[in-house]
Amino acid sequence: MPKNRQVYVPLSDTNVSLNCERVSRREMLACGALGMGGILLGNRLCASAEAAKTASAPAAKPKPEAKAKAVIQIWLSGGPPHTDTFDPKPEAGAEYTGPLKSFLETNVSGIRIGEKLPKLAKLADKYSLIRSMTHGNNGHETAAYMVQTGRVPGGRLVYPAVGAVVTAFKGFQGDSNSLIPPYIVLTQPQGRFSEAGFMGLRYKPFATGGDPNAARFAVEGIIAPDLSDAEQAHRRDTLGNTDQLAQALGSHPEIAAAKQATHEAYELIIGDAGKVFDLSQEPDEVRQAYGRNTFGQSCLAARRLVEAGVKYITINQFVWDTHKEHFQAMQRLLPNLDNGLGTLLTELSQRGLLDSTLVWCCGEFGRTPKVDWGPTWNGGRHHFGSVFSVLVAGGGFKGGQVVGSSDSKGENVRDRPVYPGDLIGSIYELCGIEPDANLPHPMNEVVKAAPSADEGMKLAGRLTEIM
């Protein structure tokens, strides 16, 4: 293995039990002798044992029907402009529209979207738009926390994001023998808060790193850009043949478990499981349809991960904070969004996966409807949490619908406000997660999966009109 590369070591709920307080120095040295897989296994075993010892089991209540078996979250970090994407306001005038003064009619009568989204305009029957999302917060970190957790920022607890909660209830059910982690981020973690919150390391996502549009998608700890699979296998065999300490301690049950985990890690690196990240297996015309850029190929990778049984995939795109030269950026970003998301929805539908795969696409807020033409900004849009848009599709969400509306200039909610907790609670229900179920907590505190009104965040009700 290349130096300083991280290896994902698969670990199920039940395949090993380890009390970290009784691991001897000799045993930990033996784990180290097994190589990087053994070292990381020791860390993961300790975290897992602690979680198993202290975490609360989800409440045994009647569960809603699980229509969504997987979730793809497309996170447009920085805040995409709602008036240039899913809620165009051409009548507001040039000081609001800038050069994007037109719009497109979609294949659903009465729904129109931004002029740079022609592929999505042909697919409106497959998604619904929430045009009245709101929380009123204009700070990146705090707004991102609100949209991804549904909770008030700055409290005593750091709450988990949606992906961690779905993983807690759906990621370790034992319905799959896949070595691939149940919660994956393409390609970098969100970065503005801890995705797992108080639930801890067990529920953090596996971030791939790398670039899926590169000649070789160098997934962190799985794909080495400078080593072939044959070279990886040779290194594994050489290590195994020379590791006398590990061979001598092989009968110890916990060392045997470490060896098994190392074997599984190498299977993920050079076996069939890791091939899910090999986008070269896809026809060139498919890759071109998604767009030969990082975002488009991340959407393609997300489809492959759903097919492989991954429960939650987040695509993070960190380029939407367009304070200056906004419209120059839109000339690049909007076609990429259209191709990537449009082709993803098309392929999920064609492959019979859309009904069981929930897709949601948004950022932490929108952007100011009125364009800032000041000399510093040269046509910029700034943070705007008063009203913004979200696209939802599949997994039990109806298509061809619009929830709520903004006013004539896109500056305020006109009707049917939707708060982050409303959307998140709806996602949990479609995933078959009881909103009142208890989350795993290291101190056994009772914390419900979905936010409630008594926590201080506004709620207006679940999205029953599109569920």
Tens-digit pLDDT profile for residues 378-405: 999 999 999 999 999 999 999 999 999 9
pLDDT digits (tens, 9 = 90+) for 119-132: 999 999 999 999 99
Q: Over pLDDT 70: what percentage of the chain?
A: 74
- Residue 442 CB contacts under 8 Å (≥ 6 apart), including other chains: 50, 51, 54, 55, 198, 199, 200
Of 7, 309, 294, the residue nearest 167 (C-alpha) = 309
Q: Where are the domains of the chain?
A: 24-54+230-269, 70-214+278-466
Average pLDDT over residues 420-426: 97
Q: Give the architecture (CATH level 2) of 70-214+278-466.
A: 3-Layer(aba) Sandwich (3.40)
3-state SS class at 309: coil
Q: Using an 8 Å Cβ cutoff, are 348 and 126 in contact?
A: no
Q: Can you tell me the distance from the alpha carbon of 105 to that of 121, in angstroms, rounded to the nearest whole number?
A: 7
Give me 170's structure tokens. 């759906």
Residue 354: predicted pLDDT: 98
3-state SS class at 453: helix
Residue 254: predicted pLDDT: 60
- Residue 65 CB contacts under 8 Å (≥ 6 apart), including other chains: 432
Tell me the backbone φ, ψ of residue 462, rounded to 5 degrees: -60, 160
Q: What is the mean pLDDT of the chain?
A: 83
Q: Can you tell me the distance from the alpha carbon of 16 to that of 414, in angstroms, rounded to the nearest whole number?
A: 54
Measuring CA to CA, how many Å separate 438 from each of 60, 68, 215, 252, 444?
10, 20, 44, 36, 9
Measuring CA to CA, how many Å separate 124 from each of 107, 117, 286?
6, 11, 21
Pairing of strands 312-317, 183-186: parallel
